[in-house]
Amino acid sequence: MSKLQQALDSGKFVITGEIGPPKGVDIERCLEDAEKLRGQVVAINVTDLQSAVMRVGSLALCTKLVERKLEPVFQLTCRDRNRLALQSDLLSAWTLGIRNVLCLTGDHPVLGDDRDAKPVYDLDSVQLLKAASFLNGGHDMSGHELEGKPDFFLGAVVTPTAEPLEPQIIKMEKKIAAGAKFFQTQAVYEPESFERFMNETQSFTVPVIAGIVVLKSAAMARFMNQNVAGINVPEELVQEMANTKSEDRNGLGRPYSGDH
């Protein structure tokens, strides 16, 4: 059982971190960032070609973290692989010591830096969770028996500030039925909307980890609004940062104080 699963199963307040692999083979800075999180977080998310930009793969960097006795959360998107490759990468991850997996559909390549890239989307995030659950049960998606099975701690994502919210809740229920044992949210900057989401989903028994990205400047906030799907920084918060003299020392992130 992973440390993340142990912590969430015990009901502890859990903090995770995140690192993004570089666009190139120099991973030293990335590993240095991970080392700074040692002892501060339970696990470290490693993004999978975030924003549909070609980078070092999540699997490779997760393996480097395992070698350093840091616990990764392997983010896996459906955008770039068919069901064969997705299942193969999951089996490979287990053999490399990776225990936590966050299943995502993935941003469309039109949002990235190479719009000639062709999306795959053989599966979506719900189907990927089902595939990973099948593997945990000892069979692949086609029903063929495995020679040794993994036991992944499976997670999924949700956008708690979406409007309308109901489709997110419906998909959240489908993800739970497919095997999701925890959720991580998009970055939250509207506490009232997040509280509404938590109230609407209070009957669910799956823990939710609220996403927080500390904003360094108004320009960063505007960039995220324009380029990062599922994130909305309220205009009043952007203006508050724009009017602050020392933006680099006044990053604003407003976490939700509840748990779920």
pLDDT in tens, 31-44: 999 999 999 999 99
What is the helix (H) or strand (E) element at residue 238, kind and residue range?
Answer: helix 235-242
Question: Residue 15: inside a domain, yes or no?
Answer: yes
Which residues 6+ apart lie within 8 Å of 92 measured at CB?
A: 59
248/205: higher pLDDT: 205
Rounded CA gap, 150 and 153, in Å?
A: 10
Say how many residues make up the chain.
260
Q: Is residue 52 part of a domain?
A: yes
The percentage of residues in the chain with a pLDDT greater than 90, rounded to a whole number, is 76
Q: Is residue 208 part of a domain?
A: no
Stretch 167-172: mean pLDDT: 97
* pTM recorded for the entire structure: 0.89
If you average pLDDT over every residue of the chain, what do you get?
91
What is the token pair recorded at 72? Answer: 């990764």
The answer as to whether 181 is a domain residue is no
Predicted confidence band of residue 259 (pLDDT cuts 50, 70, 90): very low
The number of C-alpha atoms within 13 Å of 13 and in the hemisphere containing its C-beta is: 6
**230 in a structural domain:** no
Predicted confidence band of residue 120 (pLDDT cuts 50, 70, 90): very high
d(CA 32, CA 30): 5
Tell whether 48 is covered by a domain.
Answer: yes
Identity at 18, one-letter amino acid code? E
- pLDDT at residue 85 tops 50: yes
Task: Give pLDDT tens digits for 138-159.
Answer: 999 999 999 999 999 999 999 9
Helix, strand, or coil (residue 157): strand
Confidence of residue 229 (pLDDT cuts 50, 70, 90): low
- DSSP β-bridge partners for residue 145: 139
CATH of the domain at 73: 3.20.20.220
Q: How much of the chain exceeds pLDDT 70, in percent? A: 93
The residue range of the domain holding 144 is 3-158
The verdict on residue 178 lying in a domain is: no
Tokens of 2: 């992973």
Backbone angles phi, psi at 92, to 5 degrees: -60, -40
Q: Is residue 171 pLDDT above 50, yes or no?
A: yes
How many structural domains compose the chain? 1
Does a structural domain hold residue 243? no
Would you say the C-alpha torsion 132, 133, 137, 139 has a positive or negative sign?
negative
CA pair distance 197, 210, nearest whole angstrom:
11
**pLDDT band, very low/low/confident/very high, at 260 (cuts 50, 70, 90):** very low
For residue 77, what pLDDT band results from cuts at 50, 70 and 90?
very high
Cβ within 8 Å of residue 200, ≥6 positions away = 165, 169
Helix (H) or strand (E) holding 158: strand 153-158
